[in-house]
Amino acid sequence: MAKGPDGKNTSGRGQRDLTVKVKTARGRRASSTRWLQRQLNDPYVKRAQVEGYRGRAAFKIMELDDKFRFLVPGARVVDLGCAPGGWCQVAVPRVNALGQKAGKAQGRILGVDLQEVEPIAGVEFHQLDFMEDGADDKVKDWLGGKADVVMSDMAASSSGHKQTDHLRIIALCEAAAYLAFDVLEEGGTFVSKVLAGGAEGELQKLLKQRFTKVANVKPPASRSDSSEKFVVATGFRG
Ligand SMILES: C[S@@+](CC[C@H](N)C(=O)[O-])C[C@H]1O[C@@H](n2cnc3c(N)ncnc32)[C@H](O)[C@@H]1O
């Protein structure tokens, strides 16, 4: 039976699918109306509400982990760009961050974001711009050792210019990858959001040198009309 992050059964809750139509309103732009309409009718948005996740992004990491199995009990995880905390919510039970799974190793989750994050039991949050000078040293200090997973969903707010957004996200992804190279345990996993758009070739080359397998995945929860995809690099060579 499906369970939310609060441990309650969620099957059977909120199953009705009523399409919500949003009327245009004075002062609201057509693009905002379209966004609102899509948001109100998005099954993942509804599922996140029903299952108690802070956002639909939770289902992306869930689907990636169901396929690649990196969030295992005992894993030490760094979550970059973690606000509002959906990925962390998924990671807590999977890595046994609260030590509730008897006989299984207890994991650890370190979340970092520009924005403040409401606390989640089992997660240590730090507010930080990961692109500022010395940010990776701060994360290494907080971590105080190795990590098994470095995952990044960092995304700068859209500039409206596709190529600029693409370059920005690649820069965020590269910064996350360099942290991963420094802190990952041999065999560790790196997961990062990227945008399909051409400039990611260098990054892929770099990852292929440092990991045994590099996969590019578009999980079902990632909107089909977005150029977002995820790179999952497993088997860090150390
Ligand atoms: C798509 S959201 C992440 C959603 C998150 N994975 C979840 O499940 O709730 C992207 C996040 O990246 C963060 N971000 C963007 N640039 C950043 C930076 N330079 N340093 C830290 N966080 C950053 C944003 O503040 C935003 O919260």
Report the pLDDT value the prediction gives residue 18, as an integer from 0 to 100: 59
For residue 157, report the distance from its CA to the centre of ligand 1, in Å.
9
Nearest atom in ligand 1 to the alpha carbon of residue 154 is 12
pTM metric for this prediction: 0.88
Our answer on whether the CB atom of 111 is closer than 6 Å to any ligand 1 atom is: no
Which contacts (CB < 8 Å, 24+ apart) does range 129-138 have? 130/80, 130/81, 130/154, 130/172, 130/175, 130/176, 131/171, 131/172, 131/175, 135/175, 136/175, 136/178, 136/179, 136/182
Our answer on whether the CB atom of 120 is closer than 6 Å to any ligand 1 atom is: no
Contact of 50 with 61, CB cutoff 8 Å:
no
Our answer on whether the CB atom of 84 is closer than 6 Å to any ligand 1 atom is: yes
Told to judge if 218 belongs to the known catalytic residues of this protein, a careful annotator would answer no
Q: Is 187 helix (H, G, I), strand (E, B) or coil?
A: strand
Mutate to test the pocket of ligand 1, among 64, 71, 114, 116 (most ligand atoms within 8 A of CB): 114
Q: Considering the chain, tell me which residue range(s) the CATH 3.40.50.150 domain(s) occupy.
A: 58-236
For residue 155, report the distance from its CA to the centre of ligand 1, in Å.
6
Is 58-236 CATH 3.40.50.150? yes
Q: Could you say which of 46, 162, 193, 218 is catalytic?
A: 193
Q: CA–CA separation, 114 vs 2, rounded Å? A: 32
* Mean pLDDT of the residues in the chain: 89
pLDDT tens figures, 128-143:
999 999 999 999 999 9
Our answer on whether the CB atom of 65 is closer than 6 Å to any ligand 1 atom is: no
For residue 40, report the distance from its CA to the centre of ligand 1, in Å.
22
pLDDT-based confidence at residue 126 (cuts at 50, 70, 90): very high
Mean pLDDT of 38-44: 81
pLDDT tens figures, 209-233:
999 999 999 999 999 888 899 999 9
pLDDT tens figures, 76-102:
999 999 999 999 999 999 999 999 999
For residue 173, report the distance from its CA to the centre of ligand 1, in Å.
12
Residues in the chain, how many? 238
Report the pLDDT value the prediction gives residue 13, as an integer from 0 to 100: 43
Mutate to test the pocket of ligand 1, among 44, 64, 133, 153 (most ligand atoms within 8 A of CB): 153
Taking alpha carbons only, the member of 119, 128, 66 closest to residue 97 is: 119
